[in-house]
Amino acid sequence: MEKIYLDNAATTPLRKEVIATMLNVLENDYGNASSTHSFGRSAKSILETSRKTIAKYLHCTSQEIVFTSNATEATNWILRSAVKDLGMQRIITSRVEHHATLYTINALQKEYGVAVDYINVFSDGSLDDAQLEALLNSDRKTIVSLMHVNNETGCMMDIAKVGNLCAAHNALFHCDTVQSIGKTELNLHELPVDFVVASAHKFHGPKGIGFAYVKKNRLLQPILFGGEQEKGLRAGTEAVHQVAGMAKALELAYEHLDEERAYIQELKKYCVAQLQTNFPDIKINGSTTFYNILNVLLPFSEEKTAMILFNLDMKGIAVSRGSACQSGSVKPSHVLAEMLMEEDIKKPSLRISFSHYNTKAEIDTLIDGLKGI
Ligand code: PLP
Structural domains in the chain plus CATH codes: 4-12+257-372 (3.90.1150.10), 16-255 (3.40.640.10)
User: Atom 5, ligand 1: which residue's CA is nearest?
Assistant: 151
Q: Is 325 a catalytic residue?
A: yes
pTM (global) more than 0.75 = yes
The percent helix, strand, coil of the chain (3-state, each to 5) is 45, 20, 40
pLDDT over 80 at 97, yes or no: yes
In this predicted structure, what is the pLDDT of residue 1?
A: 82
Distance of CA 218 from the midpoint of ligand 1 (Å): 23
Ligand 1 within 6 A of CB of 349: no
Ligand 1 within 6 A of CB of 199: yes
Band the pLDDT of 325: cuts 50, 70, 90.
very low
Ligand 1 within 6 A of CB of 69: no
Give the separation between CA 159 and CA 26, rounded to whole angstroms.
37
User: Atom 8, ligand 1: which residue's CA is nearest?
Assistant: 10
Give the separation between CA 296 and CA 291, rounded to whole angstroms.
14
In this predicted structure, what is the pLDDT of residue 322?
A: 64
Instruction: Tell which one of 93, 151, 183 to mutate to probe ligand 1, the residue whose CB is within 8 A of the most ligand atoms.
Output: 151
Ligand 1 within 6 A of CB of 98: yes
Which class for 334: exposed (0-12), middle (13-18), buried (19 or more C-beta within 10 A)? middle
From 60, 155, 166, 325, the catalytic residue:
325
Give the separation between CA 107 and CA 268, rounded to whole angstroms.
38
pLDDT over 90 at 320, yes or no: yes
Mean pLDDT of the chain: 95
Ligand 1 within 6 A of CB of 71: yes
Contacts (Cβ under 8 Å, ≥6 apart) of 199 = 70, 71, 72, 178, 207, 209, 210
> Is residue 355 within 8 Å of 262, Cβ to Cβ?
no
What are the residues facing 329 on neighbouring strands?
A: 326
Distance of CA 320 from the midpoint of ligand 1 (Å): 15
Distance of CA 41 from the midpoint of ligand 1 (Å): 32
In the DSSP assignment, the letter for residue 318 is: E
pLDDT over 50 at 328, yes or no: no
Instruction: Tell which one of 199, 204, 293, 335 to mutate to probe ligand 1, the residue whose CB is within 8 A of the most ligand atoms.
Output: 199
Q: State which ligand 1 atom lies nearest to the alpha carbon of 97.
A: 3
The SS3 of residue 263 is helix
Distance of CA 151 from the midpoint of ligand 1 (Å): 8
Of the candidate ranges 5-14, 299-308, 340-349, the one whose mean pLDDT is the lowest: 299-308
- Cα 8 to its chain centre, rounded Å, is 11
Percentage of the chain beyond pLDDT 90 is: 90
What are the residues facing 256 on neighbouring strands?
A: none
Distance of CA 176 from the midpoint of ligand 1 (Å): 8
The SS3 of residue 291 is coil
Distance of CA 144 from the midpoint of ligand 1 (Å): 18
Give the separation between CA 224 and CA 280, rounded to whole angstroms.
53
Per-residue burial over 338-371, b if 16 or more Cβ lie within 10 Å, else e, is: bbbeeebbbbbbbbbbbbbebeeebbebbbebbe
In this predicted structure, what is the pLDDT of residue 124?
A: 96
What string of DSSP letters covers 23-69? Answer: HHHHHH--S-TT--SHHHHHHHHHHHHHHHHHHHHHTS-GGGEEEES
Which class for 140: exposed (0-12), middle (13-18), buried (19 or more C-beta within 10 A)? middle
Distance of CA 71 from the midpoint of ligand 1 (Å): 6
Q: Is the dihedral of CA 165, 167, 171, 175 positive or negative?
A: positive
Give the separation between CA 295 and CA 353, rounded to whole angstroms.
8
What string of DSSP letters covers 139-150? Answer: SS-EEEEEESB-
- The helix (run of H) or strand (run of E) holding residue 342 is helix 342-345
Ligand 1 within 6 A of CB of 179: yes
pLDDT digits (tens, 9 = 90+) for 37-51: 999 999 999 999 999
pLDDT digits (tens, 9 = 90+) for 9-33: 999 999 999 999 999 999 999 999 9
Instruction: Tell which one of 156, 202, 211, 246 to mutate to probe ligand 1, the residue whose CB is within 8 A of the most ligand atoms.
Output: 202
Ligand 1 within 6 A of CB of 72: yes
Q: How many CB atoms lie within 10 A of CB 2?
A: 9
Of the candidate ranges 74-78, 117-121, 325-329, the one whose mean pLDDT is the lowest: 325-329
Ligand 1 within 6 A of CB of 178: yes
